[in-house]
């Protein structure tokens, strides 16, 4: 089989687009899905139906996957010269998949949000320059390719018949070097603040300039009955506590109003707040990617605009 | 310990983006250059390893003439010596080609530990140093936010999704790919800047494989929602915004 998709069982419900993409790119030929870890039964059914009868799903039961095991478990199955391998673009795959690329002598493209084909070439779009621009990349199809797919590239569609399922045992891993001894996986910080329930969130980014300006933000939050969230650099600077971080390594929120102050819109932050209903962004840089997902944008200096907003709110409340 | 740090010089596009005529990349003659943010944390982490365990820090980069500036900065911060891999096409190399160049530097230095940033802010593949580890057949860790070295082993905290941390142990030599925020990078002292001028920068050339991944063009991202920019002085935009949020969006009172 030429096309393969690889998923982790515990993440499978959120990463079904990998199955859909493998199905579409295999164009009616047989394709394979490797599951690292067995998902819940209902999720497994969804995978089998999304793959449909052209698919073959191979499932390993266990849960913990240090890089050495990931590589060994996949290469063992894919020995039959795959052309295209799809994985979800997330932290757990990004940690190990470049090793797989080196091992299988594949080209690798990460964080791809659009794929098309042009005769002998595969064309992929992905963000570059921290999301300020999109890059179009070309790969000769004679190369094997691994692509990590950003969430939502294709809507998973279930077929009328389901794929064949084969369970694999993991006894072969006994002789494999895991390359990393994982001792524990724990929560980074006690989450005292649950931002996921907030109706209005004011997100603070590095563009706030200095910590003293947070006083204005706090005043605005009080008037609007809003919670304050932060992008990663603000937390790294110690301006706000870690439990207020929104984004890929923090909380995911979807309030009815999100006000982004001095947030450039790096992809790591955007994944945590793009589900917000109305997004308002204030930034000094008109090209900031945050404006691409905003309903209203204001280009200007926060130290002038925030006081004006506070004044107007006080005058008219 | 022999510590090798790989850094990358990237175009600073914070202020403005200027494209090349062929639209394949930004015009690197028109934007200021800086050390990639994650790599600044990598330099600091390398210096801390040296301060705790002794040894020598070599900083290396792949780039054209301007890359020397990045190396001088790292030397001013406290690195002992530098290697400049000369490559005028550095900015469009794919991660495999970069990793092959890096492998040749590693073979020359034979470090006990390799430290670098987990991702660059330009192409942002996030894969190069992990491919390097695979070529060298040594362990790696991506998105490292905590590092302790004891008895030839590295004890690592790795960032995972949803605020989780993976704690693990790997053997050395290894490739440590640090995430921003792992430490607080120091500033160069005046003395450091003076000393850096005397420290050696060795220029080398390496064999570079062809790109498998070729960049065709870059363009502004397509927007899903049309943003409405509110124009005017601060008082005007404040009033317009609040009234729109009250009456059209109905999200505030």
Question: Distance, in angstroms, between B199 CA and closest chain A CA?
Answer: 32
For B49-71, the pLDDT digits (tens) are 999 999 999 999 999 999 999 99
Is residue B107 helix, strand or coil? helix
**Is residue A222 within 8 angstroms of chain B, CB to CB?**
no
For A79-137, the pLDDT digits (tens) are 666 889 999 999 889 999 999 999 999 999 999 999 999 888 999 999 999 888 999 99
Res. A152 pLDDT band, cuts 50 70 90: confident
* CA quadruple A152, A158, A163, A167: dihedral sign: positive
Please state, rounded to an integer, the average pLDDT across all residues of chain B.
95
Res. A167 pLDDT band, cuts 50 70 90: very high
Contact across the interface for B237 and A305, Cβ inside 8 Å: yes
Helices and strands per DSSP (H, E), number in chain A: 8, 16
DSSP structural state of residue A245: B
Q: Which residues contact A289 (CB under 8 A, 6 or more apart)?
A: A130, A131, A132, A264, A265, A266, A270, B221
Is residue A236 helix, strand or coil? helix
Res. A151 pLDDT band, cuts 50 70 90: confident
Q: How far apart are alpha carbons B220 and B238 in whole angstroms?
A: 28
Same domain, A7 and A127: yes
Q: Which residues of B54-66 are buried (b: 16+ CB within 10 A; e: fewer)?
A: ebebbbbbbbeee
Domain limits at A304? 195-316
Same domain, A18 and A53: yes
Percentage with pLDDT > 90 across chain A:
70
pLDDT of residue A131: 84
Taking residue A268's Cβ as centre, other Cβ atoms within 10 Å add up to: 19
More confident position, A314 or B13: A314
For B137-178, the pLDDT digits (tens) are 999 999 999 999 999 999 999 998 777 899 999 999 999 999
Across residues A193-222, what is the average pLDDT? 92
Please tell me the total count of domains within chain A.
2
pLDDT of residue A191: 57
Across residues B118-132, what is the average pLDDT? 96
Query: Per-residue DSSP letters for A247-286?
Result: STTSB----SEEEEES----HHHHTTTTT-SEEEEEES-T
For A247-298, the pLDDT digits (tens) are 888 888 889 999 999 999 988 899 889 888 899 999 999 889 999 899 999 9
For A55-71, the pLDDT digits (tens) are 999 999 987 789 999 99
Same domain, A251 and A144: no
Which chain A residues touch B102 with a CB distance below 8 Å?
none
Question: Distance, in angstroms, between B84 CA and closest chain A CA?
Answer: 24
Contact across the interface for A133 and B219, Cβ inside 8 Å: yes
Same domain, A154 and A252: no
Percentage with pLDDT > 90 across chain B:
90
Same domain, A10 and A152: yes
Res. A308 pLDDT band, cuts 50 70 90: very high
Phi and psi (nearest 5°) for B57?
A: -105, 120
Question: Distance, in angstroms, between B200 CA and closest chain A CA?
Answer: 32
CATH of the domain at A286: 3.40.50.1220
ipTM score assigned to the predicted complex: 0.88
Q: For residue A242, is pLDDT > 90?
A: no
Same domain, A239 and A170: no
Cβ-Cβ contacts under 8 Å between A and B: the total is 245
pLDDT of residue B225: 65
Is residue A1 helix, strand or coil? coil
pTM: 0.84
Res. B222 pLDDT band, cuts 50 70 90: confident
Question: Which one of B126, B141, B218 has the shortest CB-CB distance to A180?
Answer: B141
Same domain, A92 and A16: yes
Contact across the interface for B163 and A138, Cβ inside 8 Å: no
pLDDT of residue A113: 92
CB A231 within 8 A of CB A247: yes
Same domain, A161 and A259: no
**Is residue A182 within 8 angstroms of chain B, CB to CB?**
yes
Residue A95, domain member (yes or no): yes
Q: How far apart are alpha carbons B31 and B15 in whole angstroms?
A: 9
Across residues B11-28, what is the average pLDDT? 90
Same domain, A15 and A143: yes
Same domain, A236 and A287: yes
Q: For residue A190, is pLDDT > 70?
A: no
DSSP structural state of residue B19: B
pLDDT of residue A149: 94
Where do the domains of chain B lie, and which CATH numbers do they carry? 2-204 (3.40.50.620)
């Amino acid at each position: 089989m030429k096309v393969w998709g690889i998923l982790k069982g515990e993440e499978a419900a959120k990463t079904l687009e990998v199955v859909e993409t493998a199905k579409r790119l295999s164009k009616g030929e047989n394709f394979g899905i490797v599951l690292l870890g067995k998902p819940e039964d209902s999720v497994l059914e969804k995978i089998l139906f999304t793959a449909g009868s052209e698919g073959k799903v191979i499932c390993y039961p266990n849960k913990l996957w240090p890089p050495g095991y990931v590589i060994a478990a996949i290469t063992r199955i894919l020995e039959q010269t795959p052309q295209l391998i799809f994985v979800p673009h997330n932290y757990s795959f990004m940690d190990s998949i470049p090793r797989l690329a080196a091992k299988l002598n594949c080209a690798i493209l990460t964080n791809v949000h659009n794929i098309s084909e042009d005769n002998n070439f595969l064309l992929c779009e992905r963000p570059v320059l921290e999301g300020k621009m999109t890059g179009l990349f070309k790969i000769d199809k004679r190369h094997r390719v691994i692509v990590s797919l950003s969430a939502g590239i294709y809507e998973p569609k279930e077929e009328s018949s389901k794929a064949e399922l084969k369970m694999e045992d993991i006894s072969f891993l006994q002789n494999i070097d895991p390359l990393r001894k994982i001792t524990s996986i724990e929560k980074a910080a006690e989450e005292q603040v649950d931002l996921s329930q907030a109706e209005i969130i004011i997100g603070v980014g590095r563009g706030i300039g200095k910590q003293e300006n947070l006083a204005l933000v706090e005043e605005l939050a009080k008037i609007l009955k809003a919670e304050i969230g932060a992008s990663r650099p603000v937390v790294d600077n110690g301006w706000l506590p870690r439990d207020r971080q929104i984004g890929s390594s923090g909380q995911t929120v979807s309030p009815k109003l999100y006000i982004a102050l001095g947030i450039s819109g790096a992809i790591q932050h955007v994944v945590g707040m793009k589900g917000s209903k109305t997004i308002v962004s204030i930034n000094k840089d008109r090209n900031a990617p945050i404006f691409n997902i905003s309903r209203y944008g204001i280009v200007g200096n926060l130290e002038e605009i925030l006081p004006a907003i506070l004044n107007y709110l006080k005058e008219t409340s | 310990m022999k510590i090798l740090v790989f850094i990358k010089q990237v175009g600073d596009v914070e202020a403005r983006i200027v494209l090349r005529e062929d639209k394949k990349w930004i015009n690197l003659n028109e934007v200021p250059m800086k050390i990639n943010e994650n790599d600044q944390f990598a330099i600091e982490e390398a210096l801390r390893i040296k301060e705790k365990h002794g040894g020598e820090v070599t900083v290396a980069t792949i780039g054209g003439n301007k890359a020397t500036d990045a190396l001088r900065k790292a030397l001013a911060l406290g690195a002992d010596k530098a290697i400049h891999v000369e490559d005028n096409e550095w900015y469009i190399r794919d991660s495999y080609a970069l990793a092959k160049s890096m492998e040749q530097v590693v073979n020359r230095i034979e470090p006990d530990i390799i430290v670098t940033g987990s991702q660059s802010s330009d192409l942002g593949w996030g894969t190069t140093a992990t491919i390097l580890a695979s070529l060298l057949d040594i362990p790696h860790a991506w998105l490292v936010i905590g590092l302790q070295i004891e008895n030839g082993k590295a004890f690592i905290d790795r960032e995972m999704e949803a605020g989780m941390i993976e704690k693990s142990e790997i053997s050395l030599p290894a490739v440590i790919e640090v995430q921003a925020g792992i430490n607080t990078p120091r500033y160069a002292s005046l003395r450091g800047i003076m000393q850096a001028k005397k420290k050696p920068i060795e220029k080398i050339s390496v064999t570079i494989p062809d790109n498998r991944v070729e960049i065709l063009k870059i363009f502004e991202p397509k927007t899903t929602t049309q943003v409405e920019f509110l124009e005017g002085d601060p008082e005007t935009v404040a009033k317009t915004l609040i009234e729109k949020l009250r009456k059209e969006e109905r999200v505030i009172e």
